Amino acid sequence: MEILKTKRRQILIALLIISTITIALVIWFNRRGTKRAVVVDPVRTHTQIPEYIKGELPIQLAESTVKNLRIPNELPIYSYNPKVITEEGALSIAQKLGFIGEPLRAPDVLEGTKLVWSDENASLWVTPAKSFISYYLNSHVETSSSILLPESQLLTTAQNFLYEKFGLDSIQITPTNINYLIEAENPETGLVNTTKEKANIYQFNFTYKDVGLPIMTNIPSRQIIFVYLLPEGTIIKSEAYIIENLQASPQKYAVKNSSDLVNSLNQARLLETENDYISLNDLQTEQIQNIDVQNFTLAYLLNTLLTESSLKPVFELSGNIRITGSSANFARLLLPAFK
């Protein structure tokens, strides 16, 4: 009897082990053959772009413009931390740029107190709450037509300025592109794009290496880091938003393809015009006769109006514009890149 009980117990144990293995294998195969559905959070992927003009813009786009666009299928969202700029840090930057003494303090309700140094030659504005540095010459500098440094030398000059004066890390930033600029016919309207041959100001733009793509601000012509130089190498202006701890989201999100892009032009927001000073808040849609988009750039947006510390992809659209009663002839728009 005892022997029979022992055999029954062994058989039961064996059956239990076989059942357990069978169930485990079924579960494993089911999991292996089933792909988890990717849930896209529309709130997370929504890209907030300033909207100054209400209504659909009259945008024209030649199909050939987007035909050969190389667009990745998906991209991550980047989180970051604004780098803390202490008053001691701001003072160190000022001293490296040749300023003497304590700063003036300019209160700003939206951006926080600005620290300002200024003399007869140049000005420096540091906004600690925004981790923002702006330096520019106070007087117009005549360009020497007899001196034209190679672009590679101008780039090195711009990089050294950012490393030595602003304290940026050479390991973290990389150049993206050059804008060729010239003064507008009406100097009060600032600078306008031109060809390399006609340019008398070179704008070298930089981005953070971890992102790779250009990073636009709410004024698209001013990328997150840039330096203006004259052809002989004089630096006349530079701005930088200092950020750190860039982290890509674990999940990547679908990006509009060329067809999606064409079909979503109603999402484009006009953020900048050239060759005339226009308050976009006062501009009515019916005043815009036409926007002829000729160029696209895939980039990320640093929306300086938000407290959210994230970078989301956008398309920068640029081309000719016609506005009733205005000499403005060039426009830049931003369009969300996520589907």
What pLDDT, on a 0 to 100 scale, did the predictor assign at position 277? 87
What pLDDT, on a 0 to 100 scale, did the predictor assign at position 308? 78
- Give the residue among 274, 183, 160, 162 at the shortest CA–CA distance from 225: 162
DSSP symbol at 115? E
Q: What is the arithmetic mean of pLDDT over 34-42?
A: 41
Output the CATH code of domain 79-247.
3.30.310.160
* Residue 158 parent element (H or E): helix 151-164
Q: What is the arithmetic mean of pLDDT over 142-150?
A: 75
Residue 1 has pLDDT above 50, yes or no: no
Residue 91: other Cβ atoms inside 10 A: 17
Q: Tokens for 100? A: 């003497």
What pLDDT, on a 0 to 100 scale, did the predictor assign at position 177? 96
Q: What is the arithmetic mean of pLDDT over 208-230?
A: 96
Q: Tokens for 291? A: 């926007």
Residue 64 has pLDDT above 80, yes or no: no
Least confident of 24-28, 39-43, 253-257: 24-28
Residue 129 backbone dihedrals phi, psi, to 5 degrees: -65, -25
| Candidate ranges 36-40, 146-150, 172-176; pick with highest mean pLDDT | 172-176
Model confidence band, residue 65 (pLDDT cutoffs 50, 70, 90): confident
What pLDDT, on a 0 to 100 scale, did the predictor assign at position 42? 53
Residue 214: other Cβ atoms inside 10 A: 20
**SS3 letters for 172-187?**
CEEEEEEEEEEECCCH
- β-bridge mates for residue 33, sequence order: none
Identify which has the larger pLDDT, 192 or 44. 192
What pLDDT, on a 0 to 100 scale, did the predictor assign at position 144? 61
pLDDT tens track for 282-321? 999 999 999 999 999 999 999 988 777 999 999 999 999 9
Model confidence band, residue 23 (pLDDT cutoffs 50, 70, 90): very low
Mean pLDDT of the chain: 87
Identify which has the larger pLDDT, 161 or 1. 161
In order, the DSSP letters of 253-311 are EEB--HHHHHHTGGG-EEEEEESS---GGG--GGGEEEEEEEEEEEEEE--TT-S--EE
Residue 5 has pLDDT above 80, yes or no: no
pTM value? 0.84
What pLDDT, on a 0 to 100 scale, did the predictor assign at position 285? 93
Q: What is the arithmetic mean of pLDDT over 40-54?
A: 78
pLDDT tens track for 242-256? 999 999 999 999 999
In order, the DSSP letters of 54-107 are -S---EEE-HHHHHT----SEE--EEEEEPP--HHHHHHHHHHTT--SPPEEE-
Least confident of 16-25, 104-113, 147-156, 278-287: 16-25
Least confident of 130-134, 135-139, 155-159, 307-311: 307-311
